[in-house]
Structure 1
Amino acid sequence: MEVVQVLHMNAGNGEASYANNSQFQEKAIAMAKKITEEAITDVYKSLCPKTVYIADLGCSSGPNTLMEAGELVKAFDKARRNMGHQSPEYAVYLNDLPSNDFNSIFRSLPVHQEDLKKEMDQEFGPCFFAGVAGSFYGRLFPANSLHFVHSSISLHWLSQVPKGLEENKDNIRVVASSPPSVVKAYHEQFECDFSSFLKCRAKELVTGGRMVLYFLGRRCEDHISSYNNVWELLVKVLNNLSAEGVVDEEKVNSFNFPIYWASPNEVKMVVEKEGSFSIEYLDNFMYDLENEKHIDTGNFLVNSFRAVLEPIVASHFGEEITEEIFKRKKTLILESIHELQKVEFFNVVSMTKK
């Protein structure tokens, strides 16, 4: 599986589009807002740049993309007003893989820019936006050019499916029941990828620049805390299709997601081993869907999982069977909605370039 080509959210504005099914991502942004604002205040106070360069990595598309970009700019503007400074200019880079729906972002950009101008005072400096297509596991920006890097619900995606997963039958990712060799393969891929991410950002950030990253994770060192039975329903669907002879058994056994739920301790160990950053804040947050009384839980789970997973499933199994796969998964979700785990954990880490 070429992750760079197939890892993108469902485009457009349909029922199963990411634009209409990214409430969890929006909630994560809100939960991490205080940490993000504190980091921005610190970096502005220490550097006072005349032009602020911000990068949002793994920006995806939909309403959250430009909303969060605007929040980052507003946090910088609040910091400069508190210090009585003239407004800097802003350059905001929106990054994702080339297959991302950048077109929808830029169609929405003129309205967003106008709304941002109306919200800010007359001293607010010009704000420029640019799209940067490419993997954040490689270099994206000139050396010593960025002041602040943000990434929301993206870094749990790996650069590739780890090698050596032949024994991971009846699983589509690393879980508590995975053999030790599979756990090791996933952990090593995470460590390699996250280290590469840090090395690249260390070159691109100015000294004293900050990063705030939040991504899916687990609470404990074992993988029991990364268990989510909504994911496992997809395994059940695939096994049923294989038993019926609709999908080849070998195709099912060879299917694994390039995704890893790291623990806070694993995040800390990679940061300290790579050595370019000092951690200012690290914690693990919990999002409980049961607290969202305004959300239709069943349809939310059905559509949000499809919005994220459909392109990868279609790439491996083919477009012709994908509709049937998600039709069956929807049935299973709605049948077992009261028994499903509706909690996600994510790591939040704020760090400074040394």
Structure 2
Amino acid sequence: MSAKMSNGEFKNDVAMRGKGVYGANSGQQHSAMLSALPLITKSVADSWGKRPYTDRPFTIAEYGCSDGKNSVEPIAAALRGTADAKHVQLFLSDQPSNDFAATSKNVQKIGEDGEKDGISIFTAMVPRSFYKQVLAPNSADMGFSLMSIHYVDKMPPLREGEFPFDTSRKETRRQTWEKDFCSFLRLRSSELVDGSSLVLSQLSEPPEGGDNFAVVGQALGAGAQDMIKDNLLSHDLFKHFELPTWYPEPERMRELVASVGGWAVKDLFQQEIEHPASVELKKRRAEKEDPEDLEWYAGKVIDWLAAVVSGYFLKTVAITAGDMNEEQREKLLQEWISRSKKRFLADSKDAKVTSWLVFARLQKC
């Protein structure tokens, strides 16, 4: 849940789980990132040597870096395309509440490797939402944002009697995301130089309908319901708990890019990404069916999604659970995760966990 603003809106100021938790549980994000690497390589090939500025470093911007665990390989792919560059500048942006100490630790090796290759790499971290201006005008040669832009900036408050899962609320999320996505593109257009590229990936609507990672979401919902029954969580939880996200269809994304103008769609495709733990479980069970593997699997997939949504859960608990300190809220979070693992093991066992993503490479005209 996002923090309430004075004008009645809800601002999404939540970052991914810090202290290494998100990085340790972002295996599916890593798999998705690998699919974006060829687009990163193409972007650098298009922009390197064609930029209008020769008196500054080649500049790469990431919008939504989280703890940097999945930033290293995209940046390394970009640097391979600028092998003869002498100076490279990196801007890594995320919410002010992001764990930038973890980011710094994870990306430190990039600068060290650059020095070995004779490249001076200057890294800057920008604690600012990418729904604001992040860089000075015409200052970046390429940008990328992976698994981040399905989040919106602000959500209107729920209407009287409305719930987050109502059709009317889903329509509100759609409209809000489309407005924010167009704003994101306009902001990046001012920051990137002409001819540069922007690589994007985000969760998208599955081609045959349904929900992404449905079985994991159901287990988390069931775990919360168990806690409500035991009076550990307020009944108001489900009235307020809402992920401020929207997963568009690929063609709708193309239409929105065209409506903004100033961008050419060079690549756009949809791909199903299976959670690596799901892939690993199939391998294990092909050799031997061990009940401990199912427990391992439940732990992996629940910890993965919990690392993403924990901040929203804690915000909602703070709103609905009355006078409760941070330690007590954290204890509830861990109880929720534990119960959700048990529910997944009981209800889903070895069910496949998968997500559909849309990947795009846009070039600034």
Above 0.5 in TM-score? yes
- Cα separation, 2, equivalents of 1:234 and 1:24: 18
In structure 2, the CA distance between the partners of 1:142 and 1:62, relative to structure 1 (3 Å rule), is: closer
Pairwise CA distance, 1:334: 2.3
Calculate the TM-score normalised by the size of structure 2: 0.83
Letter in 2 for 1:219: P
For residue 46 of structure 2, the aligned residue among 42, 46, 62 is 42
Letter in 2 for 1:291: V
Pairwise CA distance, 1:309: 1.4
Pairwise CA distance, 1:163: 4.0
Alignment partner, residue 182 of structure 1? 169
Which digits, 9 at most, give the CA deviation of each residue in 1:187-244, with x for residues without a partner?
1011011011011011111111110001111233x75254622112222233333344
CA contact (8 A) 2:67 2:106 kept: no
Matched, 1:215 2:202: yes
CA contact (8 A) 2:40 2:77 kept: no
Letter in 1 for 2:132: G
Pairwise CA distance, 1:167: 6.2
- Cα separation, 1, equivalents of 2:162 and 2:239: 8
Letter in 1 for 2:263: F
SS in 2 for 1:280: strand
For residue 140 of structure 1, the aligned residue among 134, 137, 140 is 134
Matched, 1:308 2:308: yes
Which digits, 9 at most, give the CA deviation of each residue in 1:297-323, with x for residues without a partner?
322202111211112111211415222
Letter in 1 for 2:14: L
- Cα separation, 1, equivalents of 2:141 and 2:90: 11
SS in 1 for 2:89: strand
Matched, 1:206 2:193: yes
Once the two structures are superposed, the pairs formed by residues 4-15 of structure 1 within 5 Å of their partners are 6-13=13-20
Once the two structures are superposed, the pairs formed by residues 245-324 of structure 1 within 5 Å of their partners are 245-289=231-275, 290-292=278-280, 293=283, 296-318=296-318, 319=329, 320-324=331-335
Letter in 1 for 2:179: C
For residue 115 of structure 1, the aligned residue among 87, 110, 113 is 113
Matched, 1:152 2:114: no
Which digits, 9 at most, give the CA deviation of each residue in 1:315-347, with x for residues without a partner?
211415222221211111222343634111111
CA contact (8 A) 1:87 1:125 kept: yes
Matched, 1:237 2:190: no
CA contact (8 A) 2:203 2:355 kept: yes
Calculate the TM-score normalised by the size of structure 1: 0.85
- Cα separation, 1, equivalents of 2:357 and 2:173: 18
- Cα separation, 1, equivalents of 2:68 and 2:198: 23
Pairwise CA distance, 1:183: 2.7
Matched, 1:348 2:359: yes
Which digits, 9 at most, give the CA deviation of each residue in 1:21-73, with x for residues without a partner?
11111111111211221122112253375421110110111532334323322
- List gaps (5 residues or longer) in structure 2: 4-9, 285-292, 319-328
Alignment partner, residue 338 of structure 1? 349
- Cα separation, 2, equivalents of 1:166 and 1:284: 37
Which digits, 9 at most, give the CA deviation of each residue in 1:135-194, with x for residues without a partner?
11111111111110111111111113354466664xx6x6xxx42x22321110110110
For residue 75 of structure 2, the aligned residue among 69, 84, 99 is 69
Pairwise CA distance, 1:265: 1.4
CA contact (8 A) 2:111 2:122 kept: no
In structure 2, the CA distance between the partners of 1:151 and 1:165, relative to structure 1 (3 Å rule), is: farther
For residue 329 of structure 1, the aligned residue among 329, 333, 340 is 340
CA contact (8 A) 1:156 1:215 kept: yes
Alignment partner, residue 62 of structure 2? 56
Letter in 2 for 1:340: A
SS in 2 for 1:130: strand
In structure 2, the CA distance between the partners of 1:259 and 1:340, relative to structure 1 (3 Å rule), is: farther
- List gaps (5 residues or longer) in structure 1: 78-85
CA contact (8 A) 1:4 1:98 kept: no
Once the two structures are superposed, the pairs formed by residues 74-85 of structure 1 within 5 Å of their partners are 74-77=80-83
- Cα separation, 1, equivalents of 2:161 and 2:129: 29
Number of residue-to-residue matches in the alignment:
331
- Cα separation, 2, equivalents of 1:339 and 1:160: 36
- Cα separation, 1, equivalents of 2:361 and 2:102: 30
Identity of paired residues, percent?
Answer: 21
In structure 2, the CA distance between the partners of 1:104 and 1:246, relative to structure 1 (3 Å rule), is: closer
Which digits, 9 at most, give the CA deviation of each residue in 1:102-151, with x for residues without a partner?
11222344444223433x3xxx4311100011111111111111110111
CA contact (8 A) 2:243 2:309 kept: no
CA contact (8 A) 1:285 1:345 kept: yes
